[in-house]
Amino acid sequence: MKTFDIPIFYRSPVISRIKNSRKVSDPRKKDYSPTELDFGPVIFYIARHFGFCYGVENAIEISYKALEENPDKRIFLLSEMIHNSDVNNDLINRGVRFIMNTSGRHQIEWSELNSDDIVIIPAFGTTLEIEKKLNEIGIDPLKYNTTCPFVEKVWNRADSLGKTGFTIIVHGKYRHEETRATFSHSKESAPTLIIRDISEAVILGEFILGKRKTEEFFKVFENKYSKGFDPLKDLDNIGVVNQTTMLATETQAIADHLNKVISAKFGKENIQKHFSDTRDTLCYATHDNQKATSGLLEKNADLAIVVGGYNSSNTSHIYELCEEKLPSYFISSADKILTRDLISHFDFHNQKEKTTQNFIPEKLPVKIILTSGASCPDSIVDEVLRKILTFFDNVRDLKEVLKDF
């Protein structure tokens, strides 16, 4: 796989070293068990796969290239390049301005832009409507386009399905930048509907089987369907694609459920005419991160620390997997670990930060799962590890622990 030229300060002497060692020893990722770092009083289990993915590194490389190549021009990002505040803040400090927030609300109006400006498309991609608007201003939206290739793969799959008569069901968060972009591209060639989770898939199945009145459809899925969507005919032939950062297992569960619904309506012998298997749109990094998290959870750990941006979809799903098994703490940086006994962490379910006391148990050794989302730099995970080590006495020397990596 291609390697990218990203700023050295995003790498780390500990985490990046471990990652590189695992890549050499297991290049085909057949082993998803974590790496164990035994410091004596504290043991860390480091996920086999986490942190910057192909799409994120590609986006970072292009963004810094845009800064380097255009020192005298105004440079804008359409919205957050990735969901990590450290990366976005560094770009802001270098003079990059954000046109919209993550919800699509303008912070800078189109009228303030001119043809001499540079606009970077974020890793999530953008809508065809925004591409058209930039072209009208005289700005080439593709010159510094950091759209993840795996997001584009979803778009291409949706386009091919639409051209063969299938309606596209998008598993995603309809306010998320990537899902908005996928919806915009998909609806050009096919009726398109966004569903959030398996519960909405069950409701959709009831409409497909005629168990719910058609007029209810437009209330249940308000703002989530393409113009002219007709549930009486557009749900006879469907294919499922996904926001690439969703839980792979849930996307599969949704596809499996809708497959059964379509089979019940048209017969198993006719399933290929009415349902398209689209498992190949699952992002490799999301898949690997989630499998690596499962590998982590096989360890008998005391707690888990998940590092990443609070608005990062893939990070939140890793956290969800961890919290099902053990005390888990979602933090954005080492600064959130206030003391040995106090941590400020993100309450994902209530969407706000809270503090927890005595999060590190009074026992030795303490066993800690450590991982991060696909948009989190290794350097931040490194800082978290090092800060926790300061809370313990008689810690083994870092060089000694890393000597085999």
Kindly list the averaged pLDDT for each block of 10 residues, start to end, along the chain of length 405.
76 90 90 96 96 87 94 94 85 94 90 97 94 97 93 94 95 92 96 97 97 95 96 96 86 93 96 84 77 94 96 90 96 96 95 96 96 92 96 95 91
Q: Answer whether residue 145 is part of any domain.
A: no
Residues 302 and 377 in one domain: yes
Q: Answer whether residue 244 is part of any domain.
A: yes
Residues 158 and 278 in one domain: yes
The catalytic residue among 80, 177, 178, 200 is 178
Residues 210 and 302 in one domain: no
Counted domains in the chain = 3
- pLDDT of res. 162: 94
Q: Answer whether residue 179 is part of any domain.
A: yes
Q: Which of 217, 189, 223 is nearest to 205 (CA)?
A: 217
Residues 168 and 271 in one domain: yes
Contact of 334 with 383, CB cutoff 8 Å: yes
Residues 169 and 191 in one domain: yes
Q: Answer whether residue 3 is part of any domain.
A: no
Domain end point (choices 104, 137, 170): 137
320 is catalytic: no
User: Containing domain of residue 357, as a range?
Assistant: 8-53+285-401
Q: Is 344 helix (H, G, I), strand (E, B) or coil?
A: strand
What CATH number should be reported for the domain holding residue 70?
Answer: 3.40.50.11270
Residues 77 and 96 in one domain: yes
Contact of 34 with 45, CB cutoff 8 Å: yes
Name every residue whose Cβ is closer than 8 Å to that of residue 172 and which is 6 or more positions away in sequence: 178, 179, 182, 194, 196, 242, 243, 246
Residues 182 and 263 in one domain: yes
Residues 89 and 195 in one domain: no
CA-CA distances (angstroms) from residue 58 to 176, 237, 283, 337? Answer: 20, 35, 15, 30
- pLDDT of res. 110: 97
Residues 324 and 340 in one domain: yes
Specify which residues 345 forms β-bridges with. 354
Q: Answer whether residue 258 is part of any domain.
A: yes
Distance CA 285, CA 244 (A): 9
Alpha carbons within 13 A on the beta-carbon side of 12: 19
- pLDDT of res. 282: 65
Domain end point (choices 137, 162, 182): 137
Alpha helices, H only, 209-349: 214-220, 248-266, 271-274, 284-296, 313-323
Distance CA 94, CA 260 (A): 52
Residues 49 and 70 in one domain: no
**pTM for this structure?**
0.84
List, edge to edge, every strand of the sheet that includes 97-98. Answer: 97-98, 75-77, 118-120
Distance CA 349, CA 376 (A): 21
Residues 173 and 271 in one domain: yes
- pLDDT of res. 265: 97
Q: Answer whether residue 261 is part of any domain.
A: yes
Residues 244 and 278 in one domain: yes
Contact of 169 with 193, CB cutoff 8 Å: yes
Domain end point (choices 243, 263, 282): 282
Q: Answer whether residue 236 is part of any domain.
A: yes
Rg of the chain over all Cα atoms, to the nearest angstrom: 23
Name every residue whose Cβ is closer than 8 Å to that of residue 350 and which is 6 or more positions away in sequence: none
What's the gap between Cα 183 and its chain centre?
17
What CATH number should be reported for the domain holding residue 179?
Answer: 3.40.1010.20
Q: Answer whether residue 144 is part of any domain.
A: no
Distance CA 17, CA 10 (A): 13
Cis peptide before 365 (omega within 30 of 0): yes
